[in-house]
Amino acid sequence: MTDIGLEARVRLSTATPGDYFQLLKPRVMSLVVFTALVGIVIAPHAPHALIDAISLLAIALGAGASGALNQWWDADIDAVMSRTRNRPIPAGRIGADEALAFGLTLSVFAVTLLGLAANWFAAFLLAFTIAYYVVVYSMWLKRRTVENIVIGGAAGALPPVVGWAAATGSLSFEPLVLFAIIFLWTPPHFWALALLKSDDYARAGVPMLPVVLGPDVTRRRILLYALVVAPVGLAPWALGFAGPVFGIVAAVGGVAFVGFALAVHLKREGVPARRAAGRMFGFSILWLAALFATLAAERLFS
Amino acid sequence: MRIGHVPSEAEIGARRARNRALGLALFGLVALFYVTTMAKLGLHLPGM
């Protein structure tokens, strides 16, 4: 028996803690934390700073776990997309099996922590959110259907619902309205990005709308969604759980949302088209952040 | 004579950083469960 050849295969990982942090998709995680925080803030409960903070941490870790598992599953397509090829797995800094173990461990930890700190209903919702993102969106929808982000968007829309459930132990129509806002916001947001990165998606074989049905259909759908999401953004004010400041922000923001979508629809060629899509993508983030921040601020300072 | 893989400086440095992060994470875990338990039981934390 010899160890010749064994030495050549053995190599210790050079992954740093920073690489593992990158596996968590910190930018996505920050949006999840923000929307979940709003869910907690507007929930009718006796605030307990420590428990609420631990709940938020658990939701953040759950989101990070989803990101790690998503990167484990999508490592092959991440490797061929310019936007994602420097992620830790395709870049060779972390092994796929390490990412899988990391994601699963973190999922169990996050769900357990939320169950112990808040309640097991919220923990169930967090587990459902992780499973939905990884299994339903990443494994099932993303590579199979052009409606991948339409249906898969539910995962990104659930954090305020989980936050509300963590605070109250139950559900109500308010978090479901927040769910609806994010759910309807997701397609135009990602389609604007897909218009800019359609070559990347085509190379990776991901059936995003511009790749399958073309940019003009995508532009029309962005406008249609904008016409729906703008009035839905007003729902918290119309239903009485947001105040007049929110109503103004949502009304002005809604008009601007439709305006940016209209620009995407009208500018179809060259640099102006790319610029319009880029502005739509950027503004959609600002719109969602402004709505949720106003909702929380009104509740905190009223 | 050493048998097997001799880690490079980069590998040793990365492993050390991972070990430290793991240690901190474990410490954080213990602290988190302690704090959660105290809060759920309605007990006051020392100094709080």
Chain centre distance of CA A294: 20
A58–B contact, CB cutoff 8 A:
no
The terminus-to-terminus CA distance of chain A in angstroms comes to 76
Give A27-56 pLDDT, tens digit per residue.
Answer: 999 999 999 999 999 999 998 899 999 999
d(CA A11, CA A119): 43
Q: In which residue ranges of chain A is pLDDT below 70? A: 1-10
Cβ-based contacts of A11 with chain B (< 8 Å): 5, 11
Please tell me the predicted confidence (pLDDT) of residue B1: 61
SS3 at position A192: helix
The reply to whether residue A116 touches residue B33, judged by beta carbons under 8 angstroms, is yes
Chain B residues with beta carbon closer than 8 angstroms to that of A91? none
Q: pTM (2 decimals)? A: 0.90
User: Residues A200, A83: contact at Cβ < 8 Å?
Assistant: yes
Residues A71-126 pLDDT 10s = 999 999 999 999 899 999 999 999 999 999 999 999 999 999 999 999 999 999 99
The per-residue pLDDT for A101 is 95
For residue A160, which of A120, A113, A122 has the smallest C-alpha distance? A122
B47 pLDDT higher than 70: no
The string of DSSP letters for A218-271 reads: HHHHHHHHHHHHHHHHTHHHHTTSS-HHHHHHHHHHHHHHHHHHHHHHH--SHH
* Facing residue for B35 by CB, picked from A10, A20, A50: A50
**Interchain contact A91–B (C-beta under 8 A):** no
Q: Residues of B with CB below 8 A from A23's CB? A: none
Sign of CA dihedral A59, A63, A68, A73: positive
CB A201 within 8 A of CB A246: no
